[in-house]
Amino acid sequence: MRVLPGWIAHGGAVVWTIVSIIPFVVMILLSFRNNVDIYAHPLGVGGHYHLENYSSAWSGPPGGAGMAVYTRNTAITAFAGLLIVLTAGTFAGYFVTKVPIRMRRACIVFLIACSVMPLALVLVPMFQIYDHLSLLSNPTALGVSYGALALPTAILILQAHFIDFPNELAEAAALDGLGEFRTFLKIALPLSTGPCIAIGMLSLIFIWGEAQLGIVLLQAAASQTISVGLLGYQGQWTTDLGPQYAGLTIGTVPLIVAYLLLNRYVTKGIALGGVTK
């Protein structure tokens, strides 16, 4: 099998990077324009700057709560979801490697089935459950659901990491009198920072941008997350596009900054994340 020359591989990576960045740059440019300039200059090049778009986005449209509230709710939801994923995910990912091989394979098949299940299948049941428990319009409860939905993928990746955990370390811990649980807490978990950060970042991307379930469960404007609240910037007959693009920019920047800071852990964690052993 021939390997592509280095300049072709690097050139393809550069082109892909540019193609990925262009929509974000256009979004930022449009966030400073009004409707007339946006329709006249769809790529954001030309027209006048309107810095007030960001203050309008921050305070929100009539009947909406604004990006200040949406960002706070998204942070609450993300914290609850990541807490579920990183605690239950690491625990289950480690101890699923300790069961017999047939049971582990059955668990992997079940987790794969859960990870590819369409979200639309659970919308009605989850609405009924949340309504019965009076948890509608609760960002924390929504975060718990997001954590549960992201859990199968997290376990799949983490079990692939823990199955390669050196047996010598576990045997040494057993000689020192540590049980399985203390071995996990004191040895395995501290040596799994990279995969855990990767799982956290992947889950954060999912939680930050998911809107389908949020639309169903977050009905009050004051409880909505960024992805749901931004839909309120669209009017029935007309939409003030400048503040809407400004809101998109405000909601996107934190996620991009987090990814830029942690992307090497994401790459390393996925590289360790085979699911067949």
**Domains of the chain (ranges plus CATH)?**
61-271 (1.10.3720.10)
Q: Tell me how far apart the alpha carbons of residues 37 and 269 are, in angstroms, rounded to a whole number.
A: 44
Q: Tell me how far apart the alpha carbons of residues 197 and 240 are, in angstroms, rounded to a whole number.
A: 38
Q: Which of 10-14, 34-38, 74-78, 100-104 has the highest mean pLDDT?
A: 74-78
Could you read off the pLDDT of 200-249 as tens digits, one per residue? 988 999 999 999 999 999 989 899 999 998 887 776 556 788 888 999 99
User: Residue 239 forms beta bridges with which residues?
Assistant: 234
- pLDDT exceeding 90 applies to what percent of the chain? 34
Q: Is 247 exposed, middle or buried (0-12, 13-18, 19+ CB in 10 A)?
A: buried
- Asked if residues 242 and 33 have their Cβ atoms less than 8 Å apart, the reply is yes
- Asked if residues 93 and 199 have their Cβ atoms less than 8 Å apart, the reply is no
**Three-state SS for 12?**
helix
Q: Contacts for 179-182 with beta carbons within 8 Å, 24 or more apart?
A: 180/95, 180/98
pTM: 0.85
Amino acid at 104: R
